Amino acid sequence: MSFLAPHLRAALAAGEPAILVTVVRAEGSTPREAGAVMLVTLDASHGTIGGGQLEFHAIDVAREMIGSGTCERRLDLPLGPHLGQCCGGRVELLLRRAGDTELAALSEVEAREAISRPHALLFGAGHVGLALAQALALLPVTTTLIDDRDTPAPPLPDPVSFEQVDDPETLVAKAPAGAAFVILTHSHALDYRLADAALRRRDAAYVGMIGSATKRARFEHWFLARGGAREALSRFICPIGGKATRDKRPQVIAALAAAEIVGHVLAVAGVDVAPRRLKAAAISAPEAKFGAKSGAKLGRSNRAA
């Protein structure tokens, strides 16, 4: 899942004006929560405040601001028929020309978010592991693909890292609290050891293992024989991805498992942490610090902003 700061940094370096659009208030049924942010330039947009006519309107207003030199505007929009939306809620948007101050605030917020994002450790770089890494790359999760085989690192999306380790169990012990452990290695024996280590931690948001009902039953017998707590097995997911389909193609398993994983980790981490921080960054600084009042034109004193 990408961040906005790199796009803003690139725009400023190129001398391109950019507008940050922030949902500062959301009431009733709305497509995004307060704190959702997007970045608009003359020829591109990054992030989303919910899509549809609301977003199209915000982009149009942002580009009008770029053309006129306006530094800040607020829009109070009911999401009804006149806007071509049927949500029925209401949103307030803050549109602000972005400069170095906004870049610093956004970078700080996104750096904190990156650190606080839940972690997903995928053990096994086989077909399903690779497909799952691709699926999770789009989501607000820090994903690491791990394999114990001496093979070259597979091609992965930029947000996903790869580790080749001789003893993957050591990474279970080092993982932060609230992590997801997804076990899909080439070895049933290794799968068992990894699941055992993850379940004994007691602070994992998700412990899942690829397999069948038979594999689960055999693991449970093995786990209990080693002194594992029966209560821990209530937190153990095998097979992964639920029972919505019998389709066993790696990409299908990965899509279903990704939804399952992100539901667990965000429930533990708190899904609205990042939006709250982005909202605070957007509205907390005094207007003088940003060099503009609502509806003001861009003048000599605020060209850097």
What pLDDT, on the 0 to 100 scale, is given for residue 1?
55
What pLDDT, on the 0 to 100 scale, is given for residue 158?
86
Please answer whether residues 33 and 26 qualify as being in contact, where contact means their C-beta atoms are separated by less than 8 angstroms.
yes
Structure tokens at 172: 């279970």
269 C-beta neighbours (distance < 10 Å), count: 19
Q: pLDDT at residue 283 above 60?
A: no
Q: pLDDT at residue 85 above 70?
A: no
248 C-beta neighbours (distance < 10 Å), count: 10
Identify the top-confidence range among 86-95, 112-121, 275-284. 112-121
Instruction: Write out pLDDT tens, residues 152-186.
Output: 899 999 889 999 999 999 999 999 999 999 999 99
Domain range list for the chain: 5-113+272-302, 118-269
Residue in 88, 4, 82 with CA at minimum distance from that of residue 49: 4
Query: How does residue 286 score in pLDDT terms, banded at 50, 70 and 90?
Result: very low
What pLDDT, on the 0 to 100 scale, is given for residue 222?
98
Query: How does residue 37 score in pLDDT terms, banded at 50, 70 and 90?
Result: very high
* Beta bridge partners of residue 43, listed in sequence order: none
The structural architecture, per CATH, of the domain 118-269 is: 3-Layer(aba) Sandwich (3.40)
177 C-beta neighbours (distance < 10 Å), count: 13
pTM here is 0.78
Instruction: Write out pLDDT tens, residues 210-251.
Output: 999 999 999 999 999 999 999 999 999 999 998 888 889 999
Put the strands of the sheet holding 19-27 in their side by side order: 45-47, 37-40, 19-27, 90-97, 72-78
Higher pLDDT, 8 or 88: 8
